[in-house]
Amino acid sequence: MSEEIVLGTLQISLVRKAVKNVHLTVHPPDGRVTLVAPISTRSEVARAYAISKLAWIRQQQKSLKAQARETPRKFQERESHELWGRRHLMTVVEANVKPFVKLDHKRITLSMRPGHDLAKRAEVMHAWHKSLLHALVPKLIAKWELKLGVRVSGYFLQRMKTKWGSCNHQAGNIRLNTELVKKPKDLVEYVVVHEMVHLLEPTHSDRFVALLDQHWPQWREARKELNALPLGA
């Protein structure tokens, strides 16, 4: 069960769970704040803790607000596009064939039928991004199923506004943000591992942190790097 801690204009979601320590998090990209505390924590104690961390919270939110954001893509000639953490220039070709995308070194060629609109370009590019992730993600899942001793019943790719991924512990599946195709592959792997660890521990408990420490010791650096990269428009 959750409740709200209101400090002026700041709202903090307080959630009590079976954890030993308090976990205060400022979430990208919008700067929402959650405070996970042990079940026995009194509201006034949680509030006092939040007040003691106000300066830190404000600094984190300021950093997120200043974080680079991609300008809306128009999918046009010589436009810059990120793919696996590297910048590529786009070439647009019009031809009476089924739309497709081709990658050649540092150039992305988008082939479209004459008379198409921006929405169609975006649709074709998004489908291509998903195809690239579909080629990578199953390999990562298979690798980490062996390492973690878990079984993923399925995975889904979709646009997400505030998360890189999520896990449905009961159904045994994970969801990944299609924006991950723009990030370095090691960071994509970190997100996959993070969500798969939730199959062992559904919450961000001390056990969850210990499991990440064991299987992906550099996870804090990976999370920091991921959240420092440009966000979607």
Helix (H) or strand (E) holding 101: strand 100-104
Residues 126 and 218 in one domain: yes
Residue 74 falls within a domain, yes or no?
Answer: no
Q: What is the pLDDT of residue 185?
A: 96
Strand order in the sheet with 173-177: 154-158, 173-177, 165-168
- The whole-number average pLDDT for the span 206-215 is 94
Burial 120-152 (b: 16+ CB within 10 A, else e): ebeebbeebbbebbeebbeebbeebeeebeeeb
CATH code assigned at 193: 3.30.2010.10
Domain assignment of residue 159, given as a range: 80-228
- The whole-number average pLDDT for the span 178-188 is 94
Q: Residue 86 class from Cβ within 10 Å (0-12 exposed, 13-18 middle, 19+ buried)?
A: exposed
pTM, entire model: 0.74
Residues 144 and 182 in one domain: yes
Give strand pairing partners of 110: 92, 101
- The whole-number average pLDDT for the span 69-75 is 73
Residue 233 falls within a domain, yes or no?
Answer: no
Residues 110 and 162 in one domain: yes
Q: What is the pLDDT of residue 63?
A: 78
Residues 34 and 145 in one domain: no
Last residue of a domain, one of 10, 31, 66: 66
Residue 73 falls within a domain, yes or no?
Answer: no
The pLDDT-based confidence of 226 (bands split at 50, 70, 90) is: confident
Q: How far out from the chain centre does Cα 41 lie?
A: 30
Residues 110 and 222 in one domain: yes
Only one residue has tokens 């074709």, namely: 124
Residue 204 falls within a domain, yes or no?
Answer: yes
Residues 104 and 61 in one domain: no
pLDDT at 233 over 50: no
Q: What's the CA gap between 16 and 41, in Å, rounded? A: 7
Residues 61 and 152 in one domain: no
| Count of structural domains, the chain | 2
Residues 85 and 128 in one domain: yes
Residues 55 and 33 in one domain: yes
